Amino acid sequence: MTISRPLSLAPDLWRGRINISADTVRVILLADTYVPNMTTHSRRTSFTAHELATGGGYTEGGIVVSITETIDTGNQSIDYSFAGGTLGSTANTARYAAWFNWTGTAANDIFMLLLDFDRNQTGPFVIPAQKIRIFQ
């Protein structure tokens, strides 16, 4: 599995568009039709056509997960830990999981993280927790 973060994540954090302690974070599943672009994809509008449809135990919009922030003053960095979870048993095939700062409006939902399963998988989808470090 490969984890990637979009180029837009750090500026969205710096500009206060994400409030780690108050905002809702969701993880959704994406079909293999999605073509990752960490440079231009910054909002959920780039993903809506590729999210798995509701059915077989999966619900569009995925699941709510937690995110925690740890400041590492020694390394002058911030670690973000994204919780994972299990998304229902489904007959659909998914290739990716994506985390979003969720408002419920695709144009405003901020893309935060992408997990590539490295191949298509069928459910149940067990999404492992992920950790990223930024501001190094």
Range of weakest confidence among 20-29, 59-68, 127-136: 127-136
| Token pair of 37 as six digits | 């672009």
93 band by pLDDT with thresholds 50, 70 and 90: confident
* Beta bridge partner(s), residue 86: 126
pLDDT at 75 over 90: no
Q: Tell me the C-alpha distance between 85 and 28, whole Å.
A: 11
123 band by pLDDT with thresholds 50, 70 and 90: confident
Query: So what's the pLDDT on residue 94?
Result: 93
Higher-pLDDT residue of 111 and 56 is 111
Query: So what's the pLDDT on residue 90?
Result: 61
* Beta bridge partner(s), residue 85: 127
Residue type, 8: S
Phi-psi region of 16 (alpha: psi -120 to 50; beta: other; left: phi over 0): left
Q: List, for residues 51-64, the tens digit of each pLDDT value.
A: 999 988 899 999 99
pTM (two decimals): 0.91
pLDDT at 88 over 90: no
Report whether 30 contacts 71 (CB < 8 A). no
Task: Give me the mean pLDDT over the 49-77 stretch.
Answer: 91
* Beta bridge partner(s), residue 75: none
Query: So what's the pLDDT on residue 136?
Result: 58
Q: What is the 3-state secondary structure (H, E, C) of 68-112?
A: EEEEECCCCEEEEEECCEEECCCCCEEEEEEEEEECCCCCCCEEE
